[in-house]
Chain A
Amino acid sequence: MPNSIQLSYRKSSWWKLNQQRLTPFIFLAPGLLLFIVYVIWPIFNSLYISLLQWDGLSPAIFVGISNYVELLDDEYFYISLMNNLKWLIFFMLAVPIGLGLAIFLNQTIFGIRLIKSLFFFPFVISQVVIGIIFAWFYNPRGVIGPFLEYIGLGNYAILADENFATYGIIFAGIYPQIAYCMILYLTGLNNLNTDQIEAGRMDGAKGFSLFRNIILPQLRPATFLAIVVTVIGSLRSFDMVAIMTQGGPWGSTNVLAYYMFETALSEYGYRMGYGSAIAAVLFTIMMFYILFFIYRMYQSEKKGL
């Protein structure tokens, strides 16, 4: 009996001594393990697969960088890359438009809360639904076509026009993104430092100069966040393309995210290696933003410590 008491005492004192050191790892283990298995390891695995020729079933053949060499001559790859660039550039419009909307709505009148949430609606709804709605709008028998016909401009289907289809999709994609930016800026406007604004007004700052010199600097955190989520949103432009055109007509609306999917899992056969090479390019582009974001966070962490 005394022995076992001593033992448990010793055990608990060992635990007492070390519990502060061990607890974080016990708490981290399940989440971190799952995250490594499903997110971190697959990144490296994909980079490796991009060096293979593999259909997912038969044995893979190591082919070195030849998938990347093939990319250099792939017309569709360039189309996708260009479209990604268009997405990125036009998506950025969501930031100023969102800011404009936020300023427009930042008042206290009766029912403004409800109005703000109604403006926010498009972001809550699935992109699949937004895509279906806009595809219908653009359809020759939908909304815009018949309208153009009615005013005598002749029917026109933007999604069937290889020169403009991408812009039609971007327009649909930007709609919920504006709502997101708007809500970020509404929060930013809500937390403005009133003293500074009043002081600025005392000094005679008005209208645009007040906005530029006093408001905008204070909105920097909101702007930063709006840009980060917009860039990421633009590079993740998969859903809209999949719903509205599936990359067509003739591959003209492909973006890297969709082209990769198509290469690896559908029409073009199961080219896992080639698909992974496309994904690796997309990943590299995104990595710049991720590193930039992390650098920013690291700076503020250092300040915080």
Chain B
Amino acid sequence: MFPIPIQKRPLINQISYKILIPISLLIWLVPLIGIMLTSIRGLGDISQGNLWGVPSEFLLFSNLKDVFTNTPMISYIINSFKITIPTMIGAVALSCMTGFALASYKFKANLFIFFTFIAGNFVPFQILMIPVRDLTFQMGLYDTVTGLVLFHVAFQTGFCTLFMRNFIKALPSELFEAARMDGTSEFNIFLKIVLPLTRPAIAALCVLIFTFIWNDFFWATVLIQGHHAMPITAGLKSLNGQWISAYHLLSAGSIMAAIPPVIMFFLMQKHFIAGLTLGASKG
């Protein structure tokens, strides 16, 4: 183990480590603590510059009420879900198939197609922006949730394919061979053998895609214009413009935007980290 376990160190080190940990955590989270404190405050505290002291009033609920009644916040949140969940399902479903195809069959273009998916996944968004916006216009899907979802599904399929393919490749191939010997059709191999085994990978991808798409701002700006289809990230940005110095409201709104991915992360922590760190421990 590296570094040496703290339990094997002198007592004084152990104690100072245990003191240092919460202090460093507190410093690390100052930005987030700041926003949480601010979301509780009233306008009075903000204009008097009471930012870190004890809030003079506890106004979290009234701030939230303000945000929900005076802005389209509810609609932003609903839109975010309407964008995120179909994307998650679509990209994961498609990549189970592409990943299976690339992992378990040998054919000429295999590696080429695989690397195309990887390369496409890393390109800067700006090189896609104008044609994708144009295409969405032509399909009559500009400024709609559907248009945004279609693009997200397509783009995320790249990353998901990389992930799925590597996961399925690591499964023991004897399983497929034995099933083939028994006369199982290729579709049934996929449905009855591969899919059940890829459940951890599916879970990891679901949390990752949920977080990526929930937090997407660029494509929401490019493909959506009106409040009716705007997700919460783009919505916050537009509120940011209107609420100069109404930081207590902005903070309350920001917290609403942060909660779903945070909950998702906490519920599925193991899968989330396994997904993100794929490849961090082996060449």
Contacts and interface: CB of A to CB of B under 8 A. Distances in A.
B94 A30 contact: yes
A118 interface: yes
Contact of B122 (A27, A38, A127, A232): A232
A141 B221 CA distance: 28
A221 interface: yes
Interface string B116-147: 11111011111111111011000000000000
A264 B214 CA distance: 25
B131 A41 contact: yes
Contact of A128 (B25, B49, B257): B257
A109 B14 CA distance: 10
B97 A221 contact: no
B265 interface: yes
A92 interface: no
A74 interface: no
Interface residues of B, number: 94
SS of B interface (majority) = helix
A165 interface: no
A197 B276 CA distance: 26
Nearest to B115: A294
Q: Which of A39, A109, A136 has the most CB of B within 10 A?
A: A39
Interface stretch (A3-11, A156-164, A295-303): A295-303
B113 to A, nearest CB: 7
16 contacts: A30-B97, A32-B98, A42-B132, A104-B24, A121-B262, A125-B261, A126-B261, A128-B257, A129-B35, A143-B34, A221-B280, A232-B122, A238-B125, A242-B221, A272-B130, A275-B129
Contacts of B65: none
B226 to A, nearest CB: 16
B3 interface: yes
B128 A38 contact: yes
A146 B21 CA distance: 28
Interface residues on A, range: 35 or more
A58 B15 CA distance: 71
A285 B12 CA distance: 51
Contacts of B218: 238-239
Contacts of A261: 126, 129, 221-222
A125 B31 CA distance: 12
A278 B129 CA distance: 12
A282 B120 CA distance: 14
A188 B257 CA distance: 31
Nearest to B4: A201
Contact of A119 (B25, B38, B101, B135): B25
Contact of B31 (A119, A134, A265): A134
B217 A126 contact: yes
Interface string B73-98: 00000000000000000000011011
A192 B190 CA distance: 35
Given A47-B127, A132-B254, A225-B279, 20 more contacts: A23-B186, A24-B101, A28-B101, A108-B7, A109-B6, A109-B17, A109-B18, A109-B21, A115-B25, A119-B28, A121-B32, A125-B32, A129-B254, A141-B245, A236-B124, A239-B217, A272-B130, A279-B130, A293-B122, A300-B283
Interface stretch (B55-63, B153-161, B198-206): B153-161
Contacts of A34: 94, 150, 153-154, 157
B229 to A, nearest CB: 17
Which of A129, A183, A197, A276 is the most central at the interface, judged by chain B CB atoms within 10 Å of its CB? Answer: A129
